[in-house]
Amino acid sequence: MTPEALARLHRAAFTTQRPWSEAEFRDLLASPHVFLVETDHAFALGRVIAGEAELLTLATDPAYQRQGQGRMVLQLYHDEALRRRAETFFLEVAENNLPAIALYRANGYAKTAERPNYYRQTDGSRVAAWIMTRGHP
């Protein structure tokens, strides 16, 4: 996917938070540590540094949510991170993003910390970010 396509899908998937811009995707993809995995209707962007894999974002086309696309792209992310020698995995997720939290829990992640008032919602309110981690699968 191009940075334009990534931004378009991110905007469609993230309706209660600020979506990432084309420029943000372009800048991230320029890093040698950052990688993109995708299916026909979803993508995940991650990075591995010093054995730690961070899931930067995962987005699924709303028309294909709840059909296994997120699970598939998360598995692709794990596979690529392991190929890059990741030993641990972490991510941040909005505390009110219950479908994402369920996906991550089903894939071995557990809440290990919280950042209060981290994410600004489109209505101006703020919600906490959960930091979720998992070890080597």
pLDDT single digits (tens) 25-76: 999 999 999 999 999 999 999 999 999 999 999 999 999 988 899 999 999 9
Does 3-134 carry CATH code 3.40.50.150? Answer: no
Q: Give the global pTM.
A: 0.92
What is the set of active-site residues? 92, 104
Count CB-CB contacts under 10 A for residue 62: 12
Band (137; pLDDT cuts 50, 70, 90): low
Q: What is the side-by-side strand order in the sheet with 52-60? A: 34-38, 42-49, 52-60, 88-94, 126-134, 110-120
pLDDT digits (tens, 9 = 90+) for 88-135: 999 999 999 999 999 999 999 999 999 999 988 888 899 999 999 998
Q: What CA–CA distance (Å, rounded) separates 24 from 136?
A: 29
Distance in angstroms (rounded) separating the CA atoms of residues 4 and 9: 9
